[in-house]
Structure 1
């Protein structure tokens, strides 16, 4: 190895390590997560939307449940629907049965 390349390799390795470093969060009494602060919404509260269980799923019911749960987004899921596996604490899910009635309310 040429000794002329050592400083270049050292600079490149330092640049890579600097990219992996984390920034510190500002300390404070705020109980909100950074995602909640950025979006202006807090986590979803599925208990507040339990009133929807047993009712037929509709866009109006979905919006009403989303608002009461404090969720940023909401979706109605059928029993055979394919869903993504990412968890979003600000999303409300209304799970329905074959007849289209809501049988479960959860966040994620």
Structure 2
């Protein structure tokens, strides 16, 4: 079973036309140009001028008892306790006698230490 010769040109064996060659050259140039987009190492900022990476996680608040020093020597009432708690960045504020432990410990709780007359003598977080 012999096939008679075809008058049509088989597309698989036809030589590449001009536009196909041009398209191939453009694609090769685009690939090579993409390789050139990375700046040379001398232009990359690698020193202290590099900005810090973006912060993606919320940093937990901290209690800073030094911010409550403004109330030293004052009689602690609810208003003063709230002001000290707010300035210290604490979630909760309580009063206690010096050396008295507050259980359970909470690093976000401000503890204002008061003397027997109710005056603030110290502050700590815990």
What range describes the TM-score normalised by the shorter chain of this pair?
0.5 to 0.7
Deviation at 1:29, TM superposition (A): 5.9
2:111 is aligned with 1:93: yes
Structure 1 or 2, whichever has the larger Rg, is 2
Aligned residue pair count: 72
- CA distance in 2: counterparts of 1:51 and 1:69, whole angstroms: 11
- CA distance in 2: counterparts of 1:74 and 1:97, whole angstroms: 16
Unpaired runs of 5+ residues, structure 2, are 1-54
Instruction: For CA contacts below 8 A with separation 6 or more, give which structure has more relative contact order.
Output: 1
- CA distance in 1: counterparts of 2:107 and 2:100, whole angstroms: 20
Which residue of structure 2 lines up, in the alignment, with residue 103 of structure 1?
121
Unpaired runs of 5+ residues, structure 1, are 1-27, 37-41
Q: Which of the residues 20, 39, 47 maps onto 2:66?
A: 47
Higher helix share: 1
- CA distance in 1: counterparts of 2:102 and 2:63, whole angstroms: 18
